[in-house]
Amino acid sequence: MIMPDQQKNSGLLRRRLIFADPERSVVRISRDGTRVAFRAPVDGVLNLWVAPIDRIDEVRPVTSVTDRNLGPWILWMHDNRHVVFFREAAGDENWRAWRIDLETGDVRPLTPAPGVTCRIQQISRHFPSELLITHNARDKRYFDIYRVKVATGESALVQLNEGFAGHFTDQQFRVRFAVRFTEDGDVEYLRLGSDGEQSLFSRIGAEDTMATQAIEFSADGRELYWLDSRGRDTAAVVAQDLESGTMRVLAEDPRADFTELRLDPITERPIAAARSFERVAWQVLDPDYQSDFDYLIRQSRGDLTITGMSQDRQHWIVAYQYDDVPLEYFHYDRAARQARRLFSSTPAWEGLPFVAMEPVIIRTRDGLELVCYLSRPRDPQPREPLPMVLLVHGGPWARDVWGLYADHPWRANRGYAVLSVNYRGSTGFGKAFVNAANLEWAGKMHDDLIDAVDWAVAQGIADPARVAIMGTSYGGYSALVGLTFTQEKFACAIDLCGVSNLVTFLNTIPEYWMTWKSLWKVRMGDYTSETGLRFLEERSPLNRADRIVRPLLIGQGANDVRVKASESEQIVAAMQQHGIPVTYVCYPDEGHGLGRTENRRSFKAVAEAFLAAHLGGRCEPVGDDFAGSTIEFKAGRELIPGLG
């Protein structure tokens, strides 16, 4: 016989299942099309695995790290012998490049450590065993360019960075432009002469910087390809003739920015581009590829992604994203016109009762259209207003997209409606939408979230007395804003790594963000003037901490370099000073977010119990979900029932 409490908790999707790392991710094809590399777990830690593409069951791990997952980037060299991967320590974002020799198994670093972070600058088929890497070993503020021989790890300085945000290089490993932000938030591409002289090549106004960037030169050096919003609202695919300077539009869409450009591996000319309003759509730019995309799009109801292509163009890795089943990877043999399924990202999710993610358009009080995504519990009975969780994405210059993301089905399974909102400032919807967020932190950006909640209430979806707001980074800031600027709108809030004071945040950003700090002046507020600083203080939740009347859960990584732990600590201290209860958990081995599975699972267990206490949803007992985690309760553990 099932007792009432058992009935309430029957059919729960276990956190240990839905918040595990994917079993296959970052799948990349070798340049010769014969092998694939991807991340997969070894004793619970994501390592690098390699398999023959036609015998995927012969897959084997080629690294054996034990501390934390490899980074989400894998790079096959054109020699088909070396694979480059990345590691950090305890969430510090000091990414170090490593390579493995697949013939010998030899693993060695390509960049210095500790305290140094790096980026891939350029790879080229002309230099199969070399690449350009930037890192900030010389000066933490600037990234110099080095030419690295991956076989030996030998490195030679190519370009000293003397105050720029970065450089732009070509397939011949030549440094073509220096890129800098002006004090007004504009971006300048400067030609670098052989004599060291600089001349302006292109200027991007501050209003266009979020959607405009140079992508690559054609192999013959005649054209430069851009994603470009200059002269229009949404970013188009644009080709610039380098001799005449003429710009021609290859693709544009009035509703959405083109955000991904797929290039031919030999000519380096665009073959297709992707944009997303509610869901991903492709536009083919090279007629030779039209039949390929037609075939691939017909194969699935999911959104298509191209993760890689062999150098001879004949072998591709493609993936399909869904909202109710896990991501699927396929090998596409172009000559045979056949897509063969390799595996799903998370086989353990196959067959689980996930719910749909429904795209909805919500109109704001001042007439903007917000692309949002709604998930609801499976319930064959007539729907009554539900408790709802408002999920706020980070960035803020990012966006939510359609797909299967664990927070949606998890919350829906616990009995909540779940709403993700692309508030103004979210990218991908044109520059007017982005620029509508300028100086609107805790202003109209927050109004958008309130309008979305009011829409859900008016539609009979959400119970107005049981709505939670939660998010990470900017989403965490929004959660704090929710409790301090609209004190009784939300029943409770969850903030992970959120900013509490805009001034202290700007004063503690990483040194290597300084080259583009003027961006924050345009978007957030003028930190260089007394008037601007007062404005930033007014928009800071910390200075309204005494107004908090709803329950708050705060999580933080101690090693966060973007939003320092002091941002969480100072609002916790302010609340305690005013006698306001708060629960605060910290992770000594994490940074901006939670990278280790054990830590992520433990925080979800705390969050689930917290929401159950204040919204009334179902809750899986904590059980052993703290096992292996470094979770530390700094305050308020006793405020959440069921944590033990």
Q: Is 570 left (phi over 0), alpha (psi -120 to 50) or beta?
A: alpha
Q: With 70 as the cut, is the pLDDT of residue 380 above it?
A: no
The owner of tokens 């994917």 is 22
In-domain check, residue 331: no
ω into 396 cis (within 30 of 0): yes
DSSP structure string for 336-364: TTEEEEEEES-GGGTT--PPP-EEEEEE-
Among 144, 400, 447, 560, the active-site one is 560
Mean pLDDT of 470-484: 98
Q: With 50 as the cut, is the pLDDT of residue 349 above it?
A: yes
82 part of the active site: no
In-domain check, residue 464: yes
pLDDT score, position 381: 63
Mean pLDDT of 588-595: 97
Cross-strand pairs, 119: 134
Band (pLDDT 50/70/90 cuts) for residue 383 is confident
624 part of the active site: no
pLDDT score, position 196: 75
Among 202, 218, 229, 473, the active-site one is 473
d(CA 259, CA 130): 28
The tally of CA atoms less than 13 A away on the side-chain side of residue 277 is: 9
pLDDT score, position 382: 64
Give tens-digit pLDDT for 127-182. Answer: 999 999 999 999 999 999 999 999 999 999 999 999 999 999 999 999 999 999 99
In-domain check, residue 217: no
Among 408, 446, 592, 614, the active-site one is 592
- Measured CA to CA in angstroms, residue 43 lies from 159, 213, 528, 597 at distances of 41, 40, 50, 12
Choose one of 204, 220, 237: the last residue of a domain: 204
Mean pLDDT of 200-206: 97
Band (pLDDT 50/70/90 cuts) for residue 9 is low
Name residues whose C-beta falls within 8 Å of residue 13's C-beta, 6 or more positions apart in sequence: 352, 353, 409, 410, 413
Instruction: For the chain, give the percent of residues with pLDDT over 90.
Output: 96
Band (pLDDT 50/70/90 cuts) for residue 194 is confident
Cross-strand pairs, 37: 28, 50
Choose one of 158, 174, 204: the last residue of a domain: 204
In-domain check, residue 118: yes
Q: How many domains does the chain have?
A: 2
In angstroms, how far is CA 245 from the centroid of its own chain? 34
In-domain check, residue 465: yes
Q: H or E segment at 135?
A: strand 130-139
pLDDT score, position 7: 39
Cβ(389)–Cβ(416) below 8 Å:
yes
Give tens-digit pLDDT for 311-324. Answer: 999 999 999 999 99
pLDDT score, position 2: 30
Cross-strand pairs, 263: 270
Strands across the sheet with 328-333, in order?
A: 303-309, 315-321, 328-333, 338-344
Name residues whose C-beta falls within 8 Å of residue 287's C-beta, 6 or more positions apart in sequence: none
In-domain check, residue 47: no
d(CA 575, CA 554): 12
Q: With 80 as the cut, is the pLDDT of residue 616 above it?
A: yes
Q: Is 10 helix (H, G, I), strand (E, B) or coil?
A: coil
Please tell me the total number of residues recorded for the chain in this structure.
644
pTM above threshold 0.85:
yes
DSSP 68: S
Domain that holds residue 582: 358-593
Q: With 80 as the cut, is the pLDDT of residue 5 above it?
A: no
Cross-strand pairs, 225: 216, 239
560 part of the active site: yes
Strands across the sheet with 142-149, in order?
A: 118-122, 130-139, 142-149, 155-159
CATH number of the domain enclosing 553: 3.40.50.1820
Choose one of 593, 613, 634: the last residue of a domain: 593
CATH number of the domain enclosing 167: 2.130.10.120
Task: Tell me phi and psi for residue 77, to 5 degrees.
Answer: -80, 160
pLDDT score, position 1: 28
Mean pLDDT of 55-82: 97
Q: H or E segment at 292?
A: helix 290-298
Amino acid present at 386: L
In-domain check, residue 14: no
Give tens-digit pLDDT for 274-312. Answer: 999 999 999 999 999 999 999 999 999 999 999 999 999
Mean pLDDT of 225-253: 98
Q: With 90 as the cut, is the pLDDT of residue 330 above it?
A: yes
Cβ(315)–Cβ(29) below 8 Å:
yes
Mean pLDDT of 326-354: 97
In-domain check, residue 336: no
DSSP structure string for 475-496: HHHHHHHHHHHSTTT-SEEEEE
